[in-house]
Amino acid sequence: MKLHRESKGTITLATILFIILGALAIYFLKIWSLLIIMPLLVIYSLVFWFFRVPDRNILDHKENVIAPVDGKVVMIKEVDEDEFIKGKAIQVSIFMSPLNVHICRYPVSGEVIYKKYHPGKYLVAWHEKSSTENERTTVAVQTMTNHKVVFRQIAGYVARRIVFYCNEGDKAKAGHEFGFIKFGSRMDVFLPLDTEIICKIGDITKGGLDVIAKLKEN
């Protein structure tokens, strides 16, 4: 299994803790140490599972808006996007549990024209205000269809580290990685009002593969 580059520090720490706690359990509890070691082994395995990098066949897209993460669609609504679009947009939000793949992918193809990191709170990720009050990043892409699409990584109650690797001027390719969020969170995508929304609330998405919307050709 291939592991994500963000796993190095977490897995090193988890390994050290597992060895120390396992050794202490064996020393003090003898045969009963299995009652401690087995749950620790499950947690240790879940850390590796969390940082897995699935092998996916990413296609080229122009009009299609691709699911940026694995997760569940929890919101589709018209909103005012005040940071970059400064007007109305359709917001599609996808919630990631700690068991989902947490690679963050470009939802559209084009050119990165804006990026910004915002410190903030750690409200639960499905809270509506988390989009504007939580620690988050905002990225905007000028698409190949001449639209401006904004997407946002949002930290949650558990997720306390967001990373994004893109810079203004970078080429964005739908379905390809631009960042990572550790341990459960959310991604919002803000689309033009005339976008054809294909997904619905409750849909389970696979990042880089599932088409969630289609932009109008300008």
CB 151 within 8 A of CB 189: yes
The closest alpha carbon to 67, from 194, 198, 217, belongs to 198
The SS3 assignment for 43 reads: helix
> Is-catalytic flag, 7?
no
Report how far Cα 122 is from the mean position of its chain's Cα atoms: 15
- Element of type H or E holding 37: helix 34-50
46: how many CB neighbours lie within 10 A of its CB?
12
Integer CA distances (angstroms), 24 to 12, 20, 44, 115, 163, in order: 19, 6, 16, 47, 35
Nearest to 98, CA basis, from 134, 124, 74, 117 = 124
Q: Which of 33, 93, 109, 185 is catalytic?
A: 185
C-beta of residue 136 within 8 angstroms of C-beta of residue 179: no
CA 46 – CA 184 distance, rounded (Å): 13
Residues marked active site are found at 185
